[in-house]
Structure 1
Amino acid sequence: MLGNARVRLENLSYKLQSSDRTTLVIVFLGLMLDNLLLTVVVPILPDYLYELEHSSTASGNLQEQLSIDEPDDYSEYIESTSTTQRTFIAADLLNENSRIGLLFSSKAFVQLFVNPCVGIISGRLGYSIPSFVGLVIIFFSSVVFAIGSSYGALFFARCIQGFGSSALVISGMGLISSRYPEEVDRSKNMGVALSGIAAGVLIGYPFGSIIYDAAGKALPFALIAICIALLGVIQYLGLPPQANHETIHHSTSSKTLLKDPYILAVVVTICVSTSAMAILEPCLPLWLLETMQPEQWQLGTAFVPDSIGYFIGSSFFGVFALRVGRWKCAIVAMIVLGLSAICIPFATHIYHLILPHFGLGIGIGVVDASFMPLLAYLVDLRHDALYGSVFAICQIAVCLAYSLGPLLGGLIANSAGFPFLMRMVGVTNILLSPVCLYLRHIPVDVENQALIHRRSIQSSTSGTNAKPSNGYDVGH
């Protein structure tokens, strides 16, 4: 019986390793589960920590504390409410928001320091080992989230998720780049992989809210841990964690890559476009509460159009951008993103946010779908074809946006107002969009391009590459 089971596992492993789609599915699911864990905490931890902190003095959780039975004459109720009591509640919630903000931002700060290390490791060992280790780490993080019952434990879980996220994203993009050397396939499949981010975000908010309300804190994280464990088994069989000795040779240093003006232009564009969402996420809910007094469920669904837009942009515009011109698509996307950000403060009802939020999401998605594959191709064209370092640089830029964006956005919103903040974000994206013009024509190392051409011929996929020349037009 054991022998039969072993034979079946070996057959399954062989089929998985032989499939062209195994790598794509593993990367997609890994990014989806990582972002599911990233967002599922948003509706859970503020309420849980508030209830934990006030368990001895409060009779209910945060939602119950904030749910007030209003009398018929609301003005009399407001006048009769103690100013001192309202001030105490506001200060208490402000302190709670500060603790939650620190907990949420800790992951991005950890990734800032871990990303360069993951880039170096993936350059020496290949991508399968960091990818598998990343899954193990986020599994451990989800378990700690499930059993943790103190702020310190939850803070630790969030921090270690940063280690796992760095490994998953950098190695995942490296796996796609190396698995699909031909540009059309690479653009298509990297876009599909990136859509896993949107899928995780889209599922995370309602999944966390519904399961937490029905069964408490532990179950959502336990279910995520089970899914991660299953994916770990699939990856162990289909993409075994082993060093790729073919990649162990000298590679281009991060310092050299940062000196490449074309890589720098791509990274800056991704950072600026991402910062729009990073700034909006913590500032929008407070502005909505001040101006529209929406229902609780409306606050939770305010960012759904962003996720849908990002999913569409990242999934379906990779190949389109390659054919039309990546720099052209990126310029249009940044202008759409900027105009959408400018339009947000004009909303007078929460439903008015649907279109600008969708524009924001699709703009960021198109920029990512256009420029993430371009980063890999720039390394192919101008440097050694090892992708860990360049994607580490890209992730550092994204983490800078998510760590510094909310901080600067909060300061500007407090001093100049939310409408001014969003106009500034929109104008910044529009003014920086011409940076993409710099990527119209990229000087090429002819020897590197010949190697790319040979790899493309050897690839089992069909398609055409750029003809060897002294330059490369990213618009084809």
Structure 2
Amino acid sequence: MLFGFVIMFISSVFLAFATSIEALWLARALQGIGSACTATAGMGMLAIAYPDDAERGNAMGIALGGWGAGMLVGPVYGGFMYRIGGQMLPYIGLAILSLIGAFLQMISFETCIKKEPHEDKGIFKLLQDFQIVISAGAIAVSIFCIGLVEATLPTWMMDSWDARSLERGAAFLPHMIAYLLSTKIFGLLGHKIGRWLLGLIGLVWISCAIIAYPLASNYIGLILPSASVGFSMGMIDSGMFPYLANVVDIRHAGAYGSVYAIADAAACLGFGLGPYVGGPLVGTLGFRNLLWLTASFPLLYAPTMLLIRKIKEDSPKI
């Protein structure tokens, strides 16, 4: 985690002074590495610190809520700081926050987590476990849908009713607020409801919500589908992230770092493919047809949650 904070500090300084596309590309790549370090290590540490499933789900729900809060505050902070001080100020602020994070990590994270001997089987071994692959796939599919919507919705809003920049930015606020509430609620209840059931309901729900986007004729009409997408995303994340730790507990001897590296890679894959696919296809298919096609992916993936209802010690591999 400390290494990740240091890398994010360096990338923020690069972004503050970058003047070419190459420098921006390098800075963003460093930022992704730093984020991966903190996210993977953070989830792994929570999995170790909270061995009880109910407590673990609650802790991860809080952590995921922090993730959602950052996504909610980030664009507002960036726009405000950019207006005040141009390109440099928001990234200098991020660099300072990274240093504060590193300092807090050093003084608060003591060696209180008991280190038990275990055999980390590595990512490729874990990828042979079909329940890990299915769980990571649910994360990737849901975030793919979000990435595609984020890449195409603002343009559609401008073309459909000449939406202003404030409306285009505010369109994602219900999503983030609902995500915060959902991760908190289902972080607590996931143990009782069943992690697999959260994933199943979340995938079906996100399909229905995506279909509703093109039906909106103004910003008010976007509130319900946006909030529904955020709430369903919270269900999926609150189900799959603790579920992965449970699989590791039972079958993979504490390989938390590797399993959350897989989860983080799945999230990045989904978020990268969404805009990459959505950008070219929206011009060919149109916004409504593209989103209806996209809604079929989580709906078709949802039945795979039935395959991960029970975690067995000798679960069949791929």
What TM-score range do you get, normalising by the shorter chain? over 0.9
Q: Does 1:401 align with 2:242?
A: no
Following the alignment from structure 1 to structure 2, what is the Cα–Cα distance between the partners of residues 347 and 213?
30
Q: Does 1:421 align with 2:287?
A: no
Q: Does 1:226 align with 2:96?
A: yes
Question: What's the CA shift for 1:228?
Answer: 1.7
The residue identity in structure 2 corresponding to 1:273 is S
Please list the CA deviations of residues 216-249 of structure 1 after superposition, one character each: whole Å capped at 9, or x if unmatched.
2212221222122122111112226x8x994675
Please list the CA deviations of residues 18-42 of structure 1 after superposition, one character each: whole Å capped at 9, or x if unmatched.
xxxxxxxxxxxxxxxxxxxxxxxxx
Following the alignment from structure 1 to structure 2, what is the Cα–Cα distance between the partners of residues 248 and 329?
32
Following the alignment from structure 1 to structure 2, what is the Cα–Cα distance between the partners of residues 219 and 253?
41
TM alignment of 1:377-396, pairs within 5 A: 377-396=246-265
Please list the CA deviations of residues 175-231 of structure 1 after superposition, one character each: whole Å capped at 9, or x if unmatched.
100111111110000110111111111111111111211222212221222122122
1:355 is matched with which residue: 224, 233, 251?
Answer: 224
Q: Does 1:173 align with 2:43?
A: yes
Question: What's the CA shift for 1:152?
Answer: 2.7
Following the alignment from structure 1 to structure 2, what is the Cα–Cα distance between the partners of residues 219 and 293?
30
Following the alignment from structure 2 to structure 1, what is the Cα–Cα distance between the partners of residues 261 and 283?
33
Q: Does 1:149 align with 2:4?
A: no
Following the alignment from structure 2 to structure 1, what is the Cα–Cα distance between the partners of residues 82 and 124?
45
| Structure 2, unpaired ranges of 5+ | none
Aligned to 2:309: 440
Please list the CA deviations of residues 423-455 of structure 1 after superposition, one character each: whole Å capped at 9, or x if unmatched.
11212212221111112222236xxxxxxxxxx
The 1:245–1:322 alpha-carbon spacing in structure 2 relative to 1, beyond 3 Å, is: closer
TM alignment of 1:239-258, pairs within 5 A: 239=109, 246=115, 250-258=119-127
2:171 is matched with which residue: 289, 302, 323?
Answer: 302
Q: Does 1:208 align with 2:78?
A: yes
The 1:260–1:157 alpha-carbon spacing in structure 2 relative to 1, beyond 3 Å, is: same
Question: What's the CA shift for 1:150?
Answer: 3.0
TM-score, normalised via structure 1 length = 0.63
Aligned to 1:271: 140
Please list the CA deviations of residues 48-93 of structure 1 after superposition, one character each: whole Å capped at 9, or x if unmatched.
xxxxxxxxxxxxxxxxxxxxxxxxxxxxxxxxxxxxxxxxxxxxxx
Aligned to 1:317: 186
Question: What's the CA shift for 1:357?
Answer: 0.6
Asked if the contact 2:140/2:271 (under 8 Å) is kept, the reply is no
Please list the CA deviations of residues 117-155 of structure 1 after superposition, one character each: whole Å capped at 9, or x if unmatched.
xxxxxxxxxxxxxx1100000011111222223333222
TM-score, normalised via structure 2 length = 0.94
Please list the CA deviations of residues 83-124 of structure 1 after superposition, one character each: whole Å capped at 9, or x if unmatched.
xxxxxxxxxxxxxxxxxxxxxxxxxxxxxxxxxxxxxxxxxx
Following the alignment from structure 2 to structure 1, what is the Cα–Cα distance between the partners of residues 116 and 96?
33
Question: What's the CA shift for 1:163?
Answer: 1.0
The residue identity in structure 1 corresponding to 2:178 is G
Aligned to 2:203: 334
Aligned to 2:28: 158
Please list the CA deviations of residues 354-408 of structure 1 after superposition, one character each: whole Å capped at 9, or x if unmatched.
1101101111111001110110110111111121111111111111112222111
Following the alignment from structure 1 to structure 2, what is the Cα–Cα distance between the partners of residues 347 and 421?
15
The residue identity in structure 1 corresponding to 2:94 is I
Bigger relative contact order, structure 1 or 2, given CA contacts below 8 A and separation 6+?
2
Following the alignment from structure 2 to structure 1, what is the Cα–Cα distance between the partners of residues 221 and 285?
23
Following the alignment from structure 2 to structure 1, what is the Cα–Cα distance between the partners of residues 281 and 190?
35
The residue identity in structure 2 corresponding to 1:179 is A
TM alignment of 1:69-218, pairs within 5 A: 131-218=1-88
Larger Cα-atom Rg:
1
Following the alignment from structure 1 to structure 2, what is the Cα–Cα distance between the partners of residues 270 and 287?
26
Question: What's the CA shift for 1:336?
Answer: 1.3
Aligned to 1:65: none
The residue identity in structure 2 corresponding to 1:300 is G
Q: Secondary structure at the match of 2:311?
A: strand
Following the alignment from structure 2 to structure 1, what is the Cα–Cα distance between the partners of residues 114 and 218?
58
Following the alignment from structure 1 to structure 2, what is the Cα–Cα distance between the partners of residues 172 and 379?
16
Asked if the contact 1:247/1:386 (under 8 Å) is kept, the reply is no
Identity of aligned residues (%): 33
The 1:233–1:284 alpha-carbon spacing in structure 2 relative to 1, beyond 3 Å, is: same
Question: What's the CA shift for 1:256?
Answer: 2.1
Q: Secondary structure at the match of 1:441?
A: coil
Asked if the contact 1:292/1:350 (under 8 Å) is kept, the reply is no
The 1:175–1:278 alpha-carbon spacing in structure 2 relative to 1, beyond 3 Å, is: same
Please list the CA deviations of residues 323-371 of structure 1 after superposition, one character each: whole Å capped at 9, or x if unmatched.
1112222211111111000010111112211110110111111100111
Asked if the contact 2:78/2:90 (under 8 Å) is kept, the reply is yes
Asked if the contact 2:198/2:236 (under 8 Å) is kept, the reply is yes
Q: Which runs of 4+ in 1 moved over 6 A?
A: none
Q: Does 1:236 align with 2:134?
A: no
Q: Secondary structure at the match of 1:414?
A: helix
Q: Secondary structure at the match of 1:348?
A: coil
